[in-house]
Structure 1
Amino acid sequence: MIYKVLYQSSKDEIPVREQTETLYLEAADIRDVRKKLADKPYNVEFIQPLTGKFLGYEKKSAAFKLEKL
């Protein structure tokens, strides 16, 4: 399954909405997503599973790039 992860690039700073970044990742479940991101300095805000029409919509976005971790 593909997941959309919204995160801040630093755990040390206060989260600011305008600095939220997006990452697309393939994983078995949300726990697997968190394991794959554990060594990154990211402050994960939200993890959303993408299926069906939601996945189709995200794939049309120019920012859609599936990360290999």
Structure 2
Amino acid sequence: MIYKVLYQQSRKEMPVRENTETLYLEATDVRDVRKKLADKPYNVEFIQPLSGKFLDYEKQSAKFKLEKL
């Protein structure tokens, strides 16, 4: 399944909408996503599973790039 992860670049940073970054990641479940991001300095705000029309919509975005971790 593909997951959309909203995060801040630093764990020390307060979540501010204007500074929120997005990445797309393939994983088996949310726990797997968190495990793959554990060594990154990211402050993860939200992890959203994508499928069906939601995934199709995200794929149309110019920012859609599936990360390989």
TM-score (normalizing by structure 1) = 0.98
Segments ≥4 residues shifted beyond 6 Å: none
- What root-mean-square deviation, in Å, do the aligned CA atoms of Structure 1 and Structure 2 show? 0.5
Q: Over residues 7-40 of structure 1, what are the superposed CA-to-partner deviations in whole Å (9 max), with x where a residue is unaligned?
A: 0000112221100000000000000000000000
Aligned pairs for 1:1-69 within 5 A: 1-69=1-69
Paired positions, count: 69
Q: Distance in 2 between matches of 1:6 and 1:15?
A: 10
Tell me the TM-score normalised to structure 2 length.
Answer: 0.98
